[in-house]
Amino acid sequence: MPPRRRPRGGQPGRGGVRTGGDPLTEPGSAAYLAEQRRELLRFAAAARTEAGFGWLDDTGRLAPGRPTELWITCRMTHVFSLGLLAGERPAPGGPDAGELRALAEHGVRALLDGPLADETYGGWRATVPGDDDKLGYGHAFVVLAGSSASVARLDGGEELLAAAIATVEKRFWVEDDGMVVDRWDRVWSDLDPYRGVNANMHAVEAFLAAGDVTGDATWHERAGRISARVVDWARGNGWRVPEHFDERWRPRLEHNRDRPADPFQPYGATVGHGLEWARLLVAVDRTLGAAAPGGLVDAAVALADRAAEDGWAADGQPGFVYTTDWEGRPVVRSRMHWVAAEAVATAEVLHRATGDGRWSRAAAEWWRWIDEHLVDRENGSWRHELDERNRPVAEVWPGKPDVYHAYQAALLPALPVVPSFASALAAAGGVPGV
């Protein structure tokens, strides 16, 4: 629980943290978050490639030898769409509204007509070149990108969303399970027996957005069904979310014990996912209203409490460890930027949902840590991985390929919990007060 355990060995307010000065630039303030959003968009603009958006290194250059990945192309398309909808002034050297539209529409075209799109068999390849398999994780992000592009009225946005929804409906959603499957081969003939909660977590996010955009409540209901199953599994496992399953949805708690730092399928409990699920459960509850599965907000608090208790300063230094075992002991002690981003976003949402001031205090503390350790004012964006002493490393996440988690964390405090980001920005006519 956030207020119980203060960071040991850290000194908030020192080492570059902007505290005690101008409240407008205090980490987490509205002006501070607007600055973060502008700078993240400036950094991300360099990711454009012929095939979509590529992997950026620590300095914001395209990393040589890396393939174009579906999830990065989708996330960048989504973020540039949000940046356009936000209507904010650009950072010096950053993209203006016209350039944001061009970047987002480039992503849409790449997803519709580029090599990631499989014209022969349908759906989208995981990477080009390299991996022709079709992943539920990546396809969830195609739905998200299409949803945001549609709201932003981008050329091809509605077409992309319709194609993504049709593919997920036909290939990934399993009605009897109330879940999505994980990996098909290119020709849709061989379904991997592995089932994963990570793909389903991002499916919840995408389904909420798709339902908001299309008006089809089926997608909201499916987000609720996935959420209810995950809550049941987490409740029976000490509020640590089982991540990996077999084809009959039986937990595989020892999966990847020999590769505990896997970036997508790590062993044990993933602290950041406990936090991210908590935020999404509140969104599902608010979206479905009386039709929502019972107890989602209580489950969200339990998940976030468990993740914060297990993960924050668990080894005597401030920061969230990446993973723990099933007793809550740290396994991978690296601090990932996306975990901290989800922590502040979730704290914001839980403060609103519960009125409990401990979440606003936690958010303030975590934003100060982000400002001190993750925000890279020399090279741009946020450092993606730190070691257990909060020094930059690149063992799991080399470079800075992703601005999605950080941008959404910096945007969420300016918007309501629901509807989803793009729809909320459109309804408000941009970031309120800008």
Find out whether 79 and 94 touch, Cβ atoms under 8 Å. Answer: no
| DSSP string of 117-142, one letter each residue | B-TTT-SB-SEETTB--EEHHHHHHH
Find out whether 421 and 408 touch, Cβ atoms under 8 Å. Answer: yes
Percentage above 90 pLDDT, the chain? 93
Q: Each residue of 245-259: pLDDT tens digit?
A: 999 999 999 999 999
- What are the sequence ranges of the domains in the chain? 23-428
Q: Identify any residues that bridge with 330 across adjacent strands, giving them in sequence order.
A: 324
Peptide bond into 129 cis (omega under 30): yes
Q: Each residue of 284-314: pLDDT tens digit?
A: 999 999 999 999 999 999 999 999 999 999 9
Query: Residue 366 burial by CB count (10 A; 0-12/13-18/19+): exposed, middle or buried?
Result: buried
Query: 23-428 has which fold?
Result: Glycosyltransferase (1.50.10)
What is the average per-residue pLDDT within 335-347? 98
Confidence (pLDDT) at 4: 42
Quickly tell me which residue has 């319709």 as its tokens. Answer: 162
Confidence (pLDDT) at 13: 29
Q: Could you give the residue ranges of the DSSP H alpha helices within 185-292? A: 197-214, 217-235, 271-288
Annotated catalytic residues are 273, 405
Across the chain, what does the average pLDDT equal?
94
Strands 179-180, 173-174: pairing kind: antiparallel
Give dist(CA 264, CA 415) in Å, integer. 29
Determine how many CB atoms are found less than 10 A away from the CB of residue 189. 8
pLDDT at 214 over 60: yes
Q: Each residue of 60-112: pLDDT tens digit?
A: 999 999 999 999 999 999 999 999 999 999 999 999 999 999 999 999 999 99
Confidence (pLDDT) at 11: 27
